[in-house]
Structure 1
Amino acid sequence: MARRKLTLYFDLHSPYAYLAFYVIKNSSVFKTCDITYVPVLIVAYVNAIGLKPPWSSPNKAKWFQTDIARWCREYNIPWNQGLPANYPFKVTTLKVQRVLVACSLECPSRYPDVLNALYHAFWVEKKGVQLPQVHEPIVARVVGDKLAAKIIVKSTTEEVKSLLKQNTEAAIASGSPGLPWIKAVNGEGQEEFFWGFDHLGQVVKFLGLRRLNESHL
């Protein structure tokens, strides 16, 4: 049987993608999987598929905080109430998503740790990581000043800009209606896509993993 594979398409902007990332990274359930984290740009979904985010409706905007808090309590995910600085669209996540693409290329072994640090700063500490003056020191703290500087320069290249665009287009073309978008390949090589943190249990079942619950974190 081949190793199971899991690909998480994410944008820091999506709180539900944060929940999916945290559980996938930290739960022992997924330790036997080859995991790939793919940065995309959520604002591109608005024009491409007419995505309407939760904050487009006052009731949805209020409800999603209640919903997320419940999930976080159930799965022991770090979370504080409130919204991050500059959220939702005062400043887009374009630059920090490019930094994450660059990080995946320059230091793939540290990439999950950088992503974890940025997610924690954004959704737990509520810092505006969209801004370079906020996310650059966080990257440096994880990988060191020299490598961080290399990553930041790389993030401004046409290669990285093109990759982020390609990632986003590929996710949308595969049917993604929003984030998190998950591609799973089981031990028999069968492939399925799943949308939303609330379908992570279906991902576990499809991959033939043991049942997911909060005790695994």
Structure 2
Amino acid sequence: MATARPHIALYVDVVSPFAYEAYHILRNDPLFAPLSDSITYIPIFLGGLMHKCGNTAPMRIANKDKWINTERLRWAKHFSIPISTSLPVDFPANTLPVQRALCALGDLESKEGQGKLVRALDGLYAAYWVRGEAVHQAEVLRGVLEGVFGREETERVLAEAKTVGKTRLTENTERAFKEGAFGLPWMVCTNGKGVTEGFWGVDHLGCVVEFMGLEREKAKGKAWKALL
């Protein structure tokens, strides 16, 4: 019986600390190394998704706002993820210009496009969640992208963000909604049996590991002990 090609699609928005943490784990934890060529990152606009779902941002809910900040630092510590103890400038910022720029990088379904996307995400996540920079502001965004791609490519990306990027971001956000997303990180996973399921949250990565049939003995650290 033929097996299916395993795949994980992770929806991300720079504004979400938990999408950043899931991204960092999928990119760097040895447990996911066998799937390194089978993970796709998809930029969406979290604000748009929340609106479509009628969802409320955690930071606007009494008590949950404090808990959510503790939670992001807890998982960052467990998985050794670089993150500032202070929240970024203007958090939660409107990341629409950032997400449109990411969608303007090129064909994000291709290997080349994904390569450019992860370089941009690495730069933006470091700027926003490690250094606390206001990447949603035009000059800061431009500076981060220029540091990754140079001036000429950055000018092209920022110009196309207003057209191609805008359209793609809307399409990606709608796709996430149709695939069941109501917040981030949202992961759509297909295992070797060809079964597809959706998973939400860093705290459900243990379920992803089980579903994808990854080798649990490679899971290291107290975070994985808690999840598995």
TM-score by length of structure 2 reads 0.87
CA distances 1:33-77 after superposition (whole Å, capped 9, x unpaired) = 211111111111332111111111231111111111111111000
Distance in 1 between the 2:221 and 2:18 partners?
Answer: 16
Task: Indicate which of 94, 102, 105 corresponds to 2:104.
Answer: 102
Task: Indicate which of 65, 72, 79 corresponds to 1:75.
Answer: 79
Distance in 1 between the 2:144 and 2:51 partners?
Answer: 31
Shift of 1:213: 3.6
Report the secondary structure of 1:205's partner residue. Answer: helix
Show the counterpart of 1:195: 200
Name stretches of at least 5 consecutive residues in structure 1 with no aligned partner: none
Task: Indicate which of 128, 143, 146 corresponds to 1:137.
Answer: 143
Show the counterpart of 2:119: 113
Distance in 1 between the 2:28 and 2:106 partners?
Answer: 19
Distance in 2 between the 1:162 and 1:51 partners?
Answer: 23
Show the counterpart of 2:22: 20
Task: Indicate which of 37, 55, 62 corresponds to 1:58.
Answer: 62
C-alpha contact (below 8 Å) 1:76/1:214 kept by paired residues: no
**How high is the sequence identity, in percent, across the aligned residues?**
36
Name stretches of at least 5 consecutive residues in structure 2 with no aligned partner: 224-228
Task: Indicate which of 162, 178, 181 corresponds to 1:173.
Answer: 178
CA distances 1:123-179 after superposition (whole Å, capped 9, x unpaired) = 11111111121111111111222222221122111x321111111111111211211
C-alpha contact (below 8 Å) 1:179/1:196 kept by paired residues: yes
Distance in 2 between the 1:130 and 1:214 partners?
Answer: 34
Aligned-pair Cα RMSD in Å:
1.8
Could you tell me which amino acid in structure 2 is paired with residue 129 of structure 1? V
C-alpha contact (below 8 Å) 2:187/2:199 kept by paired residues: yes
Distance in 1 between the 2:148 and 2:49 partners?
Answer: 30
C-alpha contact (below 8 Å) 2:185/2:200 kept by paired residues: yes
Report the secondary structure of 2:188's partner residue. Answer: strand
**In the TM superposition, what are the counterparts of 1:158-169 in structure 2 within 5 Å?**
159-169=164-174
C-alpha contact (below 8 Å) 1:4/1:32 kept by paired residues: no
Distance in 2 between the 1:113 and 1:215 partners?
Answer: 29
Distance in 2 between the 1:202 and 1:119 partners?
Answer: 25
Shift of 1:94: 0.4
